[in-house]
Structure 1
């Protein structure tokens, strides 16, 4: 069963796939951090770890059902008119409604944090355990949406590796498990950092708006949507990740500068 691990090509594929799973999981960690921070402090780490564990189980189950996921690419309904054309598929619908959910969730969270800053405190004191179950449901739901891309990417990368049908599946499962474990190690520190810096919370929610828009555009691209004869193109994920990385870099500089300004005053006191 594990003979495939004796192949150098398999190890290269495993390391690359694990790295990609971690990169593709960044948006997942941001969403989990935002949701978990709305819970009472004692439940935040539990929600984060439980959400990631359920995400790992869900992804492994989806890997066994990968033929079903690939089948979701096939259109089952077509829209044709003088100005619009698209082939609706199951995968496109999942990405479209997932993108809408992220846009709604992120916008409502920004509204609550800016217009109703006391909302989170009231919600924590009023809901408690109910909020934990609600948070887990939201985490599992959004992970299912994010899993579609990462699993199909994994299938493409491991295609043709190994002599047995189960070799590629074994590599994908190992990569998913390793990536989730690494995310569990860093997820809580990231959550605490976002919680400690209000500007990072707004920035993280802005990232989710970008990701939601990207999911909607990707759904249109998978549907080969054409508006007035112009086909909707794919948005390269590299552009999105560069924007996120650059924004984080600028915000880290702002935080560092703010700390440097506060230090002289502390010394005088």
Structure 2
């Protein structure tokens, strides 16, 4: 977990998690890698917390392993808060995970989700980037209330964001934050039907292993760029039915050369016949 995402989660906890009250907290995607020091547990120190870290992999900071990727091993309506930091970009079918988050939250419970809006591809499976409208879509789909949605966009330059001014050291990932609340009148029966179907199929598919990543056309790197920026390409995908050049002069020269070759081929039998006659 990078520093900016850690601090975004810290703000969520300070703003939305009352102190002085015992809370049941589930941390989705809690496993930490070698050398990683920042954890959500550190942010919860000094609070009365019943913490449960869950992840698809066993390891440090994991209390329960998810034997199925879209089934959180926690009872329904049991969590006051659910935290998920920098995990959603790695979840292929994140809408199924969000339905599970809605299931485990108590009515009135809150989920904090942080995920990048930009940045390089990292880890073996890096599927998504998120904007505020993405969190709106999740709230609409899962019938959760969206209390806050934020993305650390670059400064504006006119109507566009000026990505040349991104602080690559401190704000490289452009963190997005979504805060969701399960309303007291949550449509439990309707969403149980939606969740059962979605979760069944997501768990059946599992991940991306059945779909190998194909090699793109080399010419893709040229699209939208000036000619001087074109990367060299090894293979050009050409339609045999199309002329090789759009240059009229070159096309005319090719047609003339082709005509000369045809005339030459027609003349050869006559020459041969004359030679035989002699």
- TM norm structure 2: 0.26
More strand by share: 2
Higher relative contact order (CA 8 A, sep 6+): 1
The structure whose Rg is larger is 2
